[in-house]
Structure 1
Amino acid sequence: MAQVLEFKLPDLGEGLTEAEIVRWLVEVGDVVAIDQPVVEVETAKAMVEVPCPYGGVVTARFGEEGSELPVGAPLLTVAVGATDASPASPASPASPASPASPASPASPASPASPASPADGESSGGSGNVLVGYGTGAPAARRRRIRPERNTAPAAPAAPTVVSAPSRPAPVAVGEVNGRQGPVAVVSPLVRRLARQHEIDLRGLTGSGPDGLILRADVDSAIREAGHVAATEARTAAEPVVAEASTAIASPAITSPAAPATAERIPLRGVRGAVADKLSRSRSEIPDATCWVDADATELMAARAAMNAASGPSGGPKVSVLALLARICTAALARYPELNSTVDTAAREIVRLPGVHLGFAAQTERGLVVPVVRDAHTRNAESIGAEIARLTELARTGKLSPAQLTGGTFTLNNYGVFGVDGSTPIINHPEAAMLGVGRIMPKPWVHHGELAVRQVVQLSLTFDHRVCDGGTAGGFLRYVADCVEQPAVLLRTL
């Protein structure tokens, strides 16, 4: 008898309490190996493939794609250990498998048989550590053969068990884990679903191992019942439609179009996490914004000279964002008040020892803020390479939660959207964010004469609890001076 094991959504770390099912990687009836990814979920931090610690046949999945599950909720069930009842002696609720049964551990099985001991060993420990699941030595992996549903000798036993008059529907028939006989229904979700839709489980033939009734079987019955009801409704409506068709041109039946209903989009996943963080930022942080226009002509010329010196194959190009990031780390060394956070419970300002620089990145999944670790120890080229690497991971949805948390200061380049300025919302629990608008030719007084220069608007939003306007203005002025005269940076390099 197969042992049905339940795999619950594990704790994915970083204090996450729920995850959204993005894509199932297995179907009911599929054979899975230990540590095989079975579902792709999206948390508030990243997209994650969840491996299953059991090996066997998938008997049920819980949750549709797009639905949210809390940590610890059932994710799927796996039948571990093959079951193959003898055709001559079908299983019954009153008689457990005899010692001579192929399912008995004492009976040898051929390597090609689904009842081989390999499946029984699949309940061994997973080699992949999941929070909330123990880990042990990796079990020996052997080839598992999906049981043939339409030719399995145990199939005739299922209807006999399900239709037993002493078993009321839709409760489980027999006891779990095969102590008393084949189990027609294991999942409480399947029984509840059947009750909600008034499906009599005694009339269903399970497609799972040993006639196990799966959710797919109940869903199929629900669809069939719905199809019958729709057919009856159409048949009853045909005379009414025939009578109404003769009066289509009559003004009496003309009515204005029904008002369109508002579309509701749930705030969950990355979008929900961003909404929560921004709302918390605005409710907790007394922020203020100051801004300045800066002549970035010299910075653009310095960047062009750097990239020209590297040659066609001299390494990656230095981006404007990388140069601005390096300017920010130099400015934070002069004004450490802005590289801090506020402990509201202790009423203390906590100045942080290192700069973990976040940068805003727009992806198909929404706004994310990857973090460049120890940015204060990197030069412009190193920062640029790390930004490029993290940006590519963000676009493919492969950023880990650790790569999206722990920032101490954020750089937001909204100039890529073709706008000049903004008032950024601080990335809670940080104390400041620098916004950068588009760099574009504008009339500018240069050396006392009007000229066309490359001008950019810089805006700094800061937590007024950590510093006053003088400190924030000094930080922003230093950044602007470095943009206008990159040689200023030489003093701190």
Structure 2
Amino acid sequence: MAQVLEFKLPDLGEGLTEAEIVRWLVQVGDVVAIDQPVVEVETAKAMVEVPCPYGGVVTARFGEEGTELPVGAPLITVAVGAPATDGESEGSGNVLVGYGTSEAPARRRRVRPGEPVSANGDAVAREVAEGPVPVISPLVRRLARQNGLDLRELHGSGPDGLILRADVEYALRAAQVHGRTVQPVAEPRTQVAPPAPAPAAVPAAPAPVRSSAPAGGMRTPLKGVRGAVADKLSRSRREIPDATCWVDADATELMRARAAMNAAGGPKISLLALLARICTAALARFPELNSTVDMEAREVVQLDQVHLGFAAQTERGLVVPVVRDAHARDAESLTAEFARLTEAARTGTLTPAELTGGTFTLNNYGVFGVDGSTPIINHPEAAMLGVGRIIPKPWVHEGELAVRRLVELSLTFDHRVCDGGTAGGFLRYVADCVEQPAVLVRTL
């Protein structure tokens, strides 16, 4: 007899407590395999495909596309197993090994001596050496793998032996306390159903939310990526005393240098990559701007590595992917990484790790056809370089009026980490490299 198991929205990490259903990847009646993605959700960090730890037939889905669910809410139910070939309904020989049932079946399986049981008293099928391990989420599986923990040595505290994050963390703490690696559990553990909770008091009705906005008009919820961006920008504006300086620069020689690089053959070099290379060279000279402020310790923390963020506009809002160790990359490597992250931003497949940890941001708002901007710093960073559009303009070159390709550069910086002299020195060096790319050669 098939058993119906409920799969709940797992802990997706990064402190996230909810996610929005973007797209269902399965329909009711579909057959799914263990660890097959069943739904695509959007968190405050990124789009994520959620795999189901059970294999069987989907019997129900919970939530329409666009619905926001908290962690722990039901996602789908899956019927696992099939009628026994010998005609007996007892036992679970044809059920996928490692997965029991979240409900008591009509006939309970007999518990053998020393066999673990679930909260409802049913026997939990043991894991075989080659079989899958029931784990609540891929993050828990990864946590165990990174710490050299064999999941087959654990008995999960979740329904029917499902291994939770708490089980893995407990095993790791126990191993650390005893100064050894995790050993197999000597005796199986019996789970006892907790006593029924006392009836909770009926909460008082919440007070109506008063809004100063007009009653009419279209309302767009600030949730998911947009909500996270709104919160971060608000925090940045509240906490960072920012200032902006700007300068016009003649980018004619930089554009010629790029054209010469690309004419020489090999992978094409993007303008953004050249600007990023200039940024990292400038930060090497003015490291105060590659910093963050620790207000609790009342310290400015100067960082060793440059993890360069760049603003990318998507259908779901503004995101800032991060190029790791940008200071150690050449223009060709930067071009490839910018292209990869931009495509991931467009398709909504950036991971939380690719959206966090930046130390400095490059904002090329010239792609929107504008010359200048005073952007909000990407908290908790200390500065952002803005680049406007590059267009022909009249300019005095070598003592004569000429038409040159000009760009406006701006630097918005946290005034707590440096004064105007440092910020101006940084921006002037960037402008010098743009006007005379040979200046940059000295730092390559």
Q: Same fold (TM over 0.5)?
A: yes
In 2, Cα distance between the equivalents of 1:61 and 1:8?
A: 11
Mapped pair 1:354 → 2:305: yes
Contact 2:98–2:134 (CA under 8 A) maintained in structure 1: no
Hey, what's the Cα distance between the residues in 1 that align with 2:398 and 2:320?
Answer: 39
CA positional deviation for 1:63? 1.8
Matches within 5 A, 1:46-195: 46-82=46-82, 102-105=88-91, 117-121=93-97, 123=99, 125-126=133-134, 130-131=138-139, 136=151
CA distance in structure 2 between the partners assigned to 1:10 and 1:127 by the alignment = 10
Per the alignment, in what secondary structure is the counterpart of residue 283 of structure 1?
A: helix
Q: Which amino acid aligns with 1:407?
A: G
* Distance in 1 (alpha carbons) for counterparts of 2:357 and 2:336: 19
For 1:295 and 1:479, locate their aligned partners in 2 and report how far apart those are by CA, in whole Å: 11
| 1:261-300 superposed matches below 5 A | 261-300=216-255
State the alpha-carbon separation in 2 of the partners of residues 131 and 7 from structure 1: 15
Please report how far the alpha carbon of residue 126 of structure 1 lies from its aligned counterpart in structure 2 after TM superposition. Answer: 4.3
Alpha-carbon displacement from aligned partner over 1:105-162 (angstroms, at most 9, x marks no partner): 2xxxxxxxxxx8333536152489524579856xxxxxxxxxxxxxxxxxxxxxxxxx
Alignment of 1:8-27 (within 5 A): 8-27=8-27
When normalised by structure 1's length, the TM-score is 0.66
> In structure 2, how many angstroms separate the alpha carbons of the residues matched to 1:39 and 1:101?
36
Q: Contact 2:390 / 2:406 at 8 angstroms: preserved in 1? A: yes
Question: Alignment identity in percent?
Answer: 81
Contact 1:11 1:130 in 2 (8 A): no
Question: Secondary structure in 1 aligned to 2:238?
Answer: helix
Q: Does residue 421 of structure 1 match 2:372?
A: yes
Contact 1:81 1:122 in 2 (8 A): no
Residue in structure 1 matching 2:408, options 444, 457, 471: 457
Residue 323 of structure 1 aligns to a residue in which SS? helix
Which residue of structure 2 lines up, in the alignment, with residue 471 of structure 1?
422
Choose which of 307, 315, 333 in structure 2 pairs with 1:364.
315
- How many Å separate the matches in 2 of 1:119 and 1:385? 47
Could you list the per-position Cα deviations for residues 179-218 of structure 1 after superposition, in whole angstroms to 9, with x for gaps in the alignment? xxxxxxxxxxxxxxxxxxxxxxxxxxxxxxxxxxxxxxxx
What letter matches 2:258 in structure 1? Answer: R
- Deviation, structure 1 residue 102: 3.6
| Aligned match of 2:362 | 411
Whether 2:43 is the aligned partner of 1:43: answer: yes
Question: Normalization by structure 2: what TM-score?
Answer: 0.73
Alignment of 1:202-241 (within 5 A): none
The answer on whether the counterparts of 1:371 and 1:403 sit within 8 Å (CA) in structure 2 is yes
1:332 maps to 283
Q: Which has the higher helix share?
A: 1
Which one-letter code corresponds to 1:427 in the other structure?
N
Which residue is equivalent to 2:343?
A: 392
For residues 221-245 of structure 1, the C-alpha deviation after alignment (integer angstroms, 9 at most, x for no partner) is xxxxxxxxxxxxxxxxxxxxxxxxx
Aligned AA (1:70): P
State the structure with more CA Rg: 1
Residues 245-294 of structure 1 deviation map (CA, whole Å, 9 limit, x = unaligned): xxxxxxxxxxxxxx993111111111111111111111111111111100
Native 8 Å contact 1:338 1:432 kept in 2:
yes
Query: CA separation in 1, counterparts of 2:140 and 2:305?
Result: 33
- 8 Å contact from structure 2 (residues 10, 136) kept in 1: no
Q: Give 2:264's aligned amino acid.
A: A
Which residue pairs with 2:384 in the alignment?
A: 433
Residues 357 and 349 of structure 1: CA distance in aligned 2, closer, same or farther (over 3 Å): same
Q: Is the 1:82–1:120 contact (alpha carbons within 8 Å) kept by the matching residues of 2?
A: no
> 2:401 aligned with 1:481, yes or no?
no
- Amino acid across the alignment from 2:93: P
Counterparts of 2:69 and 2:437, CA distance in 1: 51
- What is the DSSP-based 3-state SS (H/G/I as helix, E as strand, rest coil) of the residue aligned with 1:479? helix
Q: How far does the alpha carbon of each residue in 1:7-47 deviate from its partner, in whole angstroms, 9 at most, with x for none?
A: 12112222222211001112233332211111111112221
> Using the alignment, how far apart are the partners of 1:360 and 1:54 within structure 2?
39
Q: Tell me the residue number matched to 2:178.
A: none
Cα RMSD (Å):
2.3
The alignment of Structure 1 onto Structure 2 pairs a total of residues equal to 344
Partner of 1:302: 257
In structure 2, distance between residues paired with 1:273 and 1:263: 20
Gap runs ≥5 in structure 1: 85-99, 106-115, 138-258
Match status 1:318 vs 2:269: yes
The alpha-carbon deviation at position 83 of structure 1 amounts to 5.5
CA distance in 2, matches of 1:273, 1:282: 14
Q: Supply the distance in 2 between the matched residues of 1:487 and 1:61 (Cα, whole angstroms).
A: 61
**In 2, are the aligned partners of 1:55 and 1:122 still within 8 Å (CA)?**
no
